[in-house]
Structure 1
């Protein structure tokens, strides 16, 4: 956390000091009231001059407390604003350099949480919690010093009440962290069983399993209820007792009753009782908020740790070379293993792949699930760097290219299309922000999506996600238009028609044919029939390219591809489908 707070540390200290001063000054008017009571109730004639001085001091203290509090709030929020801006800029600059593949796991969720939730937690720490803690310390210290001067014996009584409350509260909270963890697990069980029941309601009702899934939810809810009831029965009496002892009314009643007894015995004077009635509650008031403030500090510390973890994600080293002269892609002895999670070992996904993609040709990657097709196809776009071997374009290792040169050279269209909450035109022009409207419309026409766009409420100015929700096939064609406009010489395609209807599939196939023309294309094929016309088919298995050639050559060789083709044919025959 210290790293995040370092740029604004000085202003945080100033805000905390001002808030502490505001709290202490807030006691000034009460102290003045006690002194006025002493003047009015004391022996001898009343001194009007002293009374007016005390009234003036009370008003001055009240105004000064308000001014110090306002200044603390302003300085704290300005410091927080600068901190948030600095963190977000640092995260944006850093995450723009991490491997794209990092985002395909849990990266996107972590970034959202860091940029929104975690920074909001740190905001509370800077703008509210730390200044409030300063007041939590200053107010009881000033109050205790003054009360001890007035009557040290009554001060001991007040302190004893507060101390007893603190002891009881600590006893009630003993083992609280473990109980909270157990409560979280029990609530997670409820959520999981509820999601299971709701998401699978059609299936479980159809097959008669709704009673079983419903019972799991009820059992989880009953378990949480039993746990919470048991915890409450064990802690509620002690917790209530601690809250009573730490409450302002209880402290006030306690010191006033004791003070009256002391006054009756001649041990103190009535004015001292007034002082304790007014100021003794300040000893316990902070205790009502200190628990929540400590929790906020712990939460902010955890949030800051998550932000720092994002800032420590290894970045891809960036080269400085410009765009290559040609689009020949070479995989040379490529090996790759995803980073290990926790104590696990890294599993090697690619095991020495040699493959050449010639300019102007289409190469298809086929093979069973888990063969490494997607991993291999993402390497030219530097979703990751190989752990061994190299990937080069035009004879230049990708690690030597600048980021701008790389993404002007390599484009990709995947099944999982991401559109921004921007206009349709801006989404298409993402790779070429300076494109004219005519260029954008031409790209949309080539992607077979222009006519659909013209039917939108505001045409190309329609905002995606607000004014219109596009279907999967429409979003896919929009991403193809984006790639056509960007005009990269190397193109990576994840078969884009795997989950669309036949009409959309025909339009997308036409758009892909337009997009692939004259480029070096690598296609991840999930259905063999879609790539029979590829210039080259590379068959992957267990992280290796086990054979390659044209469709006819591979069938004639009777190898792994022929087995896959035969299995596809037998499956279609069993389903009664025609070739």
Structure 2
């Protein structure tokens, strides 16, 4: 047992603070090199198209060199301890210890020579299982570090649920002096005051980085404002239970994520009990029904396994999902940004037919979407700089008019001023 005791006695030397720091650095370096590989592979088409392969490969080499340096330091720190454990459990060392102990017992008359043979066999058979336990210990340490990283994610506090949820009365949406920043040093939204009336379409326009997408994500309560309040039906969103909120608010974002499930299940995600007729109706309204019928098994086709969809098709599936939910508040982050002009017109007509008493908020990247809105809110640097109907804002000749004219012709401006559909 002396070799086993010696090997176990060396284990604490692998758990010193410096060794643990080196192990954390090793894990971080592994993560960086994995990220650089994934980034390079996923962006290979863009990298090649713009001649950036050398720069991308240089980043990978930098991550690899960094990993090699950290790995070398980690190995040097562990080498003496690991070598001592390997030596203590090596068959020659075990045989030597057993022979020395056995010879001492035999010469003192405490053991017959024939009795030494079982201990020699047992000693040789003992080393392999103990060495395997050592490798298992390494795996357990890696698992412990992985669990620690998972705990860090799980310990991020979720948005608090109200202790006594309040049901909103109606679906009028108000943003009252809303301020928000992803970190304390930089505010993305600065004092937003906005009212979305039922039965109207409000379009939010503005240059990139003005805070449009951040504004959208406050309404389904993906974040809470740092100051001010988002109010639905006279109730602060923080006082509405999440289940009730998502029965009232549906959303379609530009970056669509579909599940590896059937087309019908993807559309019925928010209404699992919906019948096939309801799913088909929503798909027709989103102008995706005919494309679904072309898939191998129609609405039962599993997305990602039996067929793939283009960006515009995936967006229309997401739009059908929102239309099936039939919530009184609908948030669209340019739900037709990937669509062709014919599809976009069909979807816009469907939304127009569905408006009724629905409150619709649209983040507009296309000016055709802006022209269909009842109210346009112009954002700049996280603040509202103008608001009004498209015709009013164009006639005013302010920042929205400048933004519009940078994308459209004078003929389109005249059409909007006359109340006609822009072409």
Which TM-score band applies after superposition, normalised by the shorter structure? Answer: 0.7 to 0.9
The match for 1:437 is: 276
Task: Give the SS at the match of 2:394.
Answer: helix
Secondary structure in 1 matching 2:376: strand
**Counterpart position of 2:178:** 334
Q: How does 1:400-479 map onto structure 2 within 5 Å?
A: 400-479=239-318
Number of matched residues?
411
2:148 & 2:63 partners in 1: Cα distance? 32
Contact 2:165–2:240, Cα closer than 8 Å, also in 1:
yes
Who is 2:418 aligned against?
none
Partner SS state of residue 389, structure 1: strand
Seen in structure 2, the aligned counterparts of structure 1 residues 372 and 480 have a Cα distance that, compared at 3 Å, is same
Q: Report what 1:70 is aligned to.
A: none
Q: Is the 8 A contact 1:323 1:408 kept in 2?
A: no
Aligned counterparts, 1:517-528, within 5 A:
518-528=357-367
The aligned counterpart of 1:389 is: 228
Report Cα offsets for 1:11-53 as digits up to 9, x if no partner. Answer: xxxxxxxxxxxxxxxxxxxxxxxxxxxxxxxxxxxxxxxxxxx
CA gap 1:518/1:290 in 2 versus in 1, 3 angstroms: same
Once residues 225 and 58 of structure 2 are traced to their aligned partners in structure 1, the CA distance between those partners, rounded to angstroms, is 49
> How far, CA to CA, are the matches of 2:110 and 2:5 in structure 1?
24
Bigger radius of gyration: 1
Residue 246 (str. 1) matches residue 85 (str. 2): no
| Corresponding residue of 1:371 | 210
Q: Given that residues 159 and 223 in structure 2 are in contact (C-alpha distance below 8 angstroms), is that contact kept between their aligned partners in structure 1?
A: no
Query: 1:16-27, aligned counterparts within 5 Å?
Result: none
Q: CA deviation at 1:421?
A: 2.4
Number of the residue aligned with 1:17 = none
Are residues 1:320 and 2:165 paired?
yes
Can you list the C-alpha shifts for 1:395-427, whole angstroms capped at 9, x where unaligned? 233333333332222111111222222222222
Structure 1 pair 298–546 and aligned structure 2 pair: CA distance change class (3 A): same
Q: Does 1:543 pair with 2:382? A: yes
More displaced stretch, 379-388 vs 179-188:
179-188
Aligned to 1:270: 113
Q: Is the 8 A contact 1:446 1:514 kept in 2?
A: no
Give a deviation string over 1:450-504, Cα, whole Å, max 9, x none: 1222222222222222222122111211222222221111111111232344454
Greater helix fraction, Structure 1 or Structure 2 = 1
Determine the structure 1 residue equivalent to 2:323: 484
- Residue 321 of structure 1: CA displacement? 3.3
Measured at CA, do residues 426 and 236 of structure 1 come closer, stay the same or move farther in structure 2, by a change above 3 Å? closer
**Aligned counterpart for 1:497 among listed residues 336, 351, 359:** 336
Q: TM-score, normalised by structure 2?
A: 0.80
SS at match of 1:332: strand
Q: Once superposed, what is the RMSD of the aligned Cα atoms?
A: 3.9
Task: Classify 1:291/1:387 alpha carbon distance in 2 versus 1 (closer, same or farther; 3 Å).
Answer: same
Question: What CA distance in whole angstroms lies between the structure 2 residues aligned with 1:302 and 1:186?
Answer: 14
State the SS of the aligned residue for 1:445. helix
Q: 1:426 to 1:164 in 2, by over 3 A?
A: closer
Q: Name structure 1 gaps, 5 residues minimum.
A: 1-143, 145-158, 571-577
Structure 1 match to 2:419: none
- In the TM superposition, 1:109-120 aligns within 5 A as none
Q: Deviations over 1:117-165 (max 9, x none)?
A: xxxxxxxxxxxxxxxxxxxxxxxxxxx5xxxxxxxxxxxxxx2x45565
* Equivalent pair of 1:329/1:356 in contact (CA under 8 Å): yes
Q: Which residue of 1 aligns with 2:102?
A: 259
Normalising by structure 1, what TM-score? 0.60
Q: 1:455 to 1:323 in 2, by over 3 A?
A: farther
CA separation in 1, counterparts of 2:48 and 2:286? Answer: 43
Unmatched tracts of structure 2, length 5 or more: 410-421
Cα distance 1:300–1:234, how it changes in 2: closer, same or farther (>3 A)? closer
Q: Secondary structure at the match of 1:431?
A: coil
- Bigger mean CA offset, 275-284 vs 521-530: 275-284
Give the whole-Å Cα distance in 1 for the aligned partners of 2:191 and 2:227: 8
Asked whether the equivalents of residues 205 and 370 of structure 2 are also in contact (C-alpha less than 8 Å), the reply is: no
Cα distance, 1:223–1:466 mapped onto 2, change above 3 Å? closer
SS at match of 1:433: coil
Could you say if the C-alpha distance between residues 199 and 248 of structure 1 is closer, same or farther in structure 2, counting changes exceeding 3 Å?
same
Number of the residue aligned with 2:403: 564
